[in-house]
Amino acid sequence: MSSNEMMQYLFFTVVGALALTALWYIFIKAPQARSRQLEPWARKRGLTFHPPVSLGSHTTGLETSTLQGMVQGIPVTLRSSRLVNSRRAGINGTAELMLRAIAPSPVSFSVTLAPGSARGAIPTGDPAFDANVSIQSDNPRAALAWLNPQLRAAVYALVANGEPLVCAYAGGETTLRFGAPVFEETQLDRLLALAVAAAYARLG
């Protein structure tokens, strides 16, 4: 091997190692560090934080962290899941918020709230909201009754410039699914505000 070939070999070896290190930090180390930082944030809000358990270096699946506790008198469970592959690179995931309505109604419906306006979306009569969040539901009447001004404000803060939110309501048991795992504190505070607004929303 000539000296020129040796230099090229060393160059690409170093570049490859740096690239792998950067990917490891971006997809593994940084998310883990952000996750650990949630423990003091959770304590300040009276919540219990359960960090994700690693699946191992050669496993594909979901790594899930959980926040549980009372938020303004509402029992709340928030799960953030990150799908990882055998190289430990985060692919995608979800956040799921579970709660029970203060005044449950014996109806069931689902509603999808997505950023931006869309053809065929259900109007709420709130021009600012309708211009930035579109609604689809299998029970428009119930969905509109549920989406009171306080809940619309909480949805707007979370959805208008972010991921879609899918809500399922069944006799007061409410699940809200966000299209990405949530580890950033501002977004978590918005999710907790959404939980409180959803719990106090009444359909009748």
Burial class (CB in 10 A: 0-12, 13-18, 19+), 57: exposed
How confident is the model over 16-43, as pLDDT tens digits?
Answer: 555 555 444 444 444 445 555 678 888 8
Percent of the chain with pLDDT over 90: 43
pLDDT tens digits along 103-129: 999 999 999 999 998 888 999 999 999
Question: What does the pLDDT look like over 95-104, one tens digit per residue?
Answer: 899 999 999 9
Give the global pTM.
Answer: 0.73
Which residues, at least 6 apart from 120, have a Cβ–Cβ distance to it below 8 Å? 136
Would you call 50 helix, strand, or coil by DSSP? Answer: strand
* pLDDT over threshold 70, residue 152: yes
Confidence (pLDDT) at 88:
47
Cβ–Cβ < 8 Å for 167, 198: yes
pLDDT given for residue 86 in this prediction:
45
Confidence of residue 200 (pLDDT cuts 50, 70, 90): very high
- Alpha carbon distance 81, 63 (integer Å): 6
